[in-house]
Amino acid sequence: MMVESASETIRSAPSGQNGVGSLSAQADGGGGAGTAGTAPAAGRDASGREAASGADSNGEMSPAELLHFQQQQALQVARQFLLQQASSLNSPGNNDSKQSASAVQVPVSVAMMSQQMLTPQQMQQILSPPQLQALLQQQQALMLQQLQEYYKKQQEQLHLQLLSQQQAGKQQPKEALGNKQLAFQQQLLQMQQLQQQHLLNLQRQGLVSLQPSQASGPLQALPQAAVCPTDLPQLWKGEGAPGQPAEDGGRQEGLDLASPAATATSFASPPKVSPPLSHHPLPNGQPTVLTSRRDSSSHEETPSSHPLYGHGECKWPGCETLCEDLGQFIKHLNTEHALDDRSTAQCRVQMQVVQQLEIQLAKESERLQAMMAHLHMRPSEPKPFSQPLNPVPGSSSFSKVTVSADPFPDGLVHPPTSAAAPVTPLRPPGLGSASLHGGGPARRRSNDKFCSPISSELAQNHEFYKNADVRPPFTYASLIRQAILETPDRQLTLNEIYNWFTRMFAYFRRNTATWKNAVRHNLSLHKCFVRVENVKGAVWTVDEREYQKRRPPKMTGSPTLVKNMISGLSYGALNASYQAALAESSFPLLSSPGMLNPGSASSLLPLSQDDMGAPGEPLPSNGSSSPPRLSPPQYSHQIQVKEEPAEAEEDRRPGPPLGAPNPSTVGPPEDRDLEEDLAGEDMS
DNA sequence: GACATCGTAAACACGT
DNA sequence: CACGTGTTTACGATGT
């Protein structure tokens, strides 16, 4: 019977994770939403392109509209890019196939957000500065490219129409023809002004300017660049040609650089995207281009230099004309590389090059992420994590060997999804990347010491732990305590504790044998866990004083620990709640690391305080609700009535337990020692 | 290197 | 007998 019920509950644990289930389902749903989100985005994009082509064919879209559209489209692309980034980051090594955009799981938040309109600020929050940079540049590049394509088509079309009309115009009334030609020419002019403005804008943002050396330098360094370096010259030469046909007056006018273009205002939007970049000191973003562009050679230092001029020669792609000085170069630039079709075409090619490089960069970044994930997170073997690997009982020594060999012998294998997830998208809670899986199983304790933040940390990241197959950085003891304290009654049966573990941590959903054993072991071993016989069985409670007692020793000397803790928390978890907790909590450790010698600590802690400190966490401390009976603070103690041994006595010294089974009440204040002694004696 | 803490494995007892 | 629950011991890893 018991057995059945027990196993039932355990089995229901997974299903009992229904509660969790809903959450993990959320996550899954998130993934689904992510993929689903991709589709719509693509759809929009596609439709956008259709619209574009429609505009092309009709030639009826005004430049302003076009711009707006282009920006929208760029945003879509950005969104897609975001999704890809997220998904690729999410999926560790598995997806070499770059098609990560497909069905990988996307963090819920990202997926959800990306489904709606993302403001630059939002994107900024989601993406790291480098990513933002790349994204923005890609966006700009795309806009420019599309603009230019559009311009080109328009021009060609206009020329065609012009030609045909000139021929046909012989028979037509001169006025009509003149009007139409005028209209065409005006349109053309307008377009070219737009184009010019756009180019200037981009140049101002440093996007265009970086082109020159890109073609020759960095590109070759990239092995798999889609554009083969050797192709570039041909590209340049070849691209120059198409521009040539347009040689008539219309273009001449368009080339006029002098036109200050009142249209400038319409371009206000693109630049506004850039501001966010400025305050990112990160070396990665802009630099990906800028730094690579300049080999820190001559022109870096001289502010008077020109990005297209270096080493005494023109860096315009495919040019390499030697120029004595900057002035000569400027002259050369204005004459040879004026804003004409050829230059535009070359610019376009450069855009493509940049795009390719960016894609390449993205791929390489992805690879890097995967590598880091692999190295940091321990081997992410493609094992199906569904199967709990059961430690074969019987080969104890053997298993131990394996343990030492493999940092995480147990279930740590990650499903392709979760492994990388922690790396970036979802903040692996209190752990810096380094400390993440520091090493074997035991390492978590480092975090544990600061222990109580566990609650806030958990509160902050419980979503993460729920879904990510990451071992929580807390000791079993602290976890158990947390589980117990989270309940209104502050008591749990063993089974409920199990359930809590599985509910709260994906990691504990498998490999049950080991951690359950560990839980039992901890419950029995630590004095801070008190077993209370209940009508319906036995429940476990926490003796906060005991719990507090055992910590001090460790923490004492290591400010680094505190620092780590804080930094770790600050990562994602440091928030108001934590700070508040820190502030109000009587937690001696946190508030003043100095006063921790066990003796004083324990003595200093009257129950009330103790209680406060214990729940260094928000929830229970507010005792307002929970305490049905007795003085709020006391639970743990009173309940702890537990068994006969001397243990009981000391804790309740502050407040006598209930009338219940309290045997040897009288415990000298320092029983603590006695207890331990007793424990030792008992053992022997 | 000693010590403390922690995690893991395992043996054992007991109750259902 | 099987299983869950508890207790205890042992060992290895890690940090101080």
One-character DSSP codes across A389-404: PPPPTT-HHHHHHHHH
Q: How far is the CA of A550 from the C1' of B5 (A)?
A: 10
By C-alpha to C1' distance, C3 is nearest to: A3
Q: Does position A493 have pLDDT exceeding 80, yes or no?
A: yes
Q: Kindly indicate the confidence band of residue A345, based on its pLDDT and cuts at 50, 70 and 90.
A: confident
pLDDT value at residue A337: 80
Please enumerate in sequence order all residues whose Cβ is within 8 A of that of A249, keeping only pairs 6 or more positions apart, or say none: A185
- Judged by average pLDDT, the poorest of A330-344, A450-464, A535-549 is A450-464
Residues A635 and A490: beta-carbon distance below 8 Å: yes
Angle at A601 between CA A492 and CA A452, to 5 degrees: 45
Distance CA A294, CA A288 (A): 11
Question: Which residue is it, tokens 């022997």?
Answer: A684
The stretch A382-399 carries a mean pLDDT of 33
Q: How far is the CA of A379 from the C1' of B9 (A)?
A: 24
Specify the higher pLDDT residue, A642 or A193.
A193
Distance of CA A218 to the CA centre of its chain: 28
Q: Does position A317 have pLDDT exceeding 60, yes or no?
A: yes
Q: How far is the CA of A520 from the C1' of B12 (A)?
A: 14
Lookup: nucleotide whose C1' is closest to A598 CA: B4
Q: In the structure encoding, which two tokens stand for residue A509, read together?
A: 């959903």
pLDDT value at residue A520: 92
Q: What are phi and psi of A493, to 5 degrees?
A: -80, 165
Specify the higher pLDDT residue, A504 or A19.
A504
Distance CA A154, CA A59 (A): 7
Task: Compute the residue count for chain A.
Answer: 684
Lookup: nucleotide whose C1' is closest to A474 CA: B6
pLDDT value at residue A161: 54
pLDDT value at residue A42: 31
Q: Give the SS3 label for residue A450.
A: helix
Distance CA A438, CA A606 (A): 37
Please enumerate in sequence order all residues whose Cβ is within 8 A of that of A604, keeping only pairs 6 or more positions apart, or say none: A588, A595
DSSP code string of A92-136: -SS-TTSGGGTT----HHHHHHHHSPPPHHHHHHHS-HHHHHHHH
Residues A33 and A108: beta-carbon distance below 8 Å: yes
Q: How far is the CA of A506 from the C1' of C11 (A)?
A: 28
Q: Does position A160 have pLDDT exceeding 50, yes or no?
A: yes
Q: How many CB atoms lie within 10 A of CB A277?
A: 18
In the chain, the amino acid numbered A238 is G
Q: How many CB atoms lie within 10 A of CB A517?
A: 11
Distance CA A250, CA A245 (A): 12
Distance CA A211, CA A156 (A): 26
By C-alpha to C1' distance, C4 is nearest to: A3
Lookup: nucleotide whose C1' is closest to A537 CA: C5
Tens digits of residue pLDDT in A572-594: 333 333 333 333 333 333 333 33
Please report, to the nearest 10 degrees, the dihedral formed by the alpha carbons of residues A349, A352, A353, A354 taken in order.
120
Q: Which residues touch strand B (CB under 7 A)?
A: A 1-3, 391-396, 399-400, 403, 409-410, 441-442, 444-445, 448-449, 474-477, 513-515, 517-518, 520-522, 550-551, 553-554
The stretch A274-283 carries a mean pLDDT of 34
pLDDT value at residue A201: 46
pLDDT value at residue A371: 64
Q: How far is the CA of A509 from the C1' of B12 (A)?
A: 27
Please enumerate in sequence order all residues whose Cβ is within 8 A of that of A560, keeping only pairs 6 or more positions apart, or say none: none
Q: How far is the CA of A635 from the C1' of B16 (A)?
A: 30
Q: How far is the CA of A513 from the C1' of C3 (A)?
A: 13
Protein-contacted positions of strand B (CB under 7 Å): 4-11, 15-16
Most confident of A18-27, A41-50, A601-610, A633-642: A633-642
Please enumerate in sequence order all residues whose Cβ is within 8 A of that of A654, keeping only pairs 6 or more positions apart, or say none: A606, A607, A610, A634, A637
Q: How far is the CA of A159 from the C1' of C13 (A)?
A: 78
Please enumerate in sequence order all residues whose Cβ is within 8 A of that of A230, keeping only pairs 6 or more positions apart, or say none: none
Q: Kindly indicate the confidence band of residue A355, based on its pLDDT and cuts at 50, 70 and 90.
A: confident
By C-alpha to C1' distance, C8 is nearest to: A683
Most confident of A187-191, A401-405, A552-556: A187-191
Q: In the structure encoding, which two tokens stand for residue A415, read together?
A: 């499903």
Parallel/antiparallel/unpaired status of strands A309-310 and A529-534 = unpaired
pLDDT above 70: percentage of residues in chain A: 21
Q: How far is the CA of A608 from the C1' of B14 (A)?
A: 37
pLDDT above 90: percentage of residues in chain A: 2
By C-alpha to C1' distance, C13 is nearest to: A442
By C-alpha to C1' distance, C7 is nearest to: A524
Tell me how far CA of residue A574 lies from CA of A13, A567, A569, A580, in angstroms.
31, 8, 5, 10
- Judged by average pLDDT, the poorest of A106-115, A294-303, A319-328, A447-456 is A106-115
Parallel/antiparallel/unpaired status of strands A313-314 and A309-310 = antiparallel
Q: How far is the CA of A108 from the C1' of C13 (A)?
A: 37
Q: Which of these, A509, A503, A513, A506, lies nearest to A482 by C-alpha position?
A: A503
Residues A469 and A418: beta-carbon distance below 8 Å: yes
Residues A529 and A541: beta-carbon distance below 8 Å: yes
Residues A665 and A649: beta-carbon distance below 8 Å: yes
Question: How would you class A414 by CB atoms within 10 Å of its CB: exposed for 0-12, middle for 13-18, buried for 19 or more?
Answer: buried
Q: Which residues touch strand C (CB under 7 A)?
A: A 2-3, 6-7, 10, 400, 403-404, 438-440, 442-443, 446, 493-495, 498, 516-517, 520-521, 523-525, 531, 537-538, 540, 554, 556-558, 560-561, 643, 682-684
Residues A356 and A226: beta-carbon distance below 8 Å: yes
Q: Which of these, A310, A338, A315, A307, lies nearest to A206 by C-alpha position?
A: A307
Q: In the structure encoding, which two tokens stand for residue A102, read together?
A: 């497909």
Lookup: nucleotide whose C1' is closest to A642 CA: C6
pLDDT value at residue A7: 33
Q: Which of these, A159, A150, A190, lies nearest to A55 by C-alpha position?
A: A150
Most confident of A77-81, A99-103, A388-392: A77-81
pLDDT value at residue A72: 52
The stretch A497-503 carries a mean pLDDT of 89
Question: Which residue is it, tokens 């990513």?
Answer: A131
Q: Which of these, A301, A514, A682, lies nearest to A501 by C-alpha position?
A: A514
Q: Does position A90 have pLDDT exceeding 80, yes or no?
A: no
Radius of gyration of chain A from its Cα atoms, rounded to whole angstroms: 34
Average pLDDT, chain A: 48
Q: How far is the CA of A403 from the C1' of B2 (A)?
A: 25
Distance CA A289, CA A214 (A): 8
Q: Which of these, A306, A329, A83, A300, lies nearest to A211 by C-alpha position?
A: A306
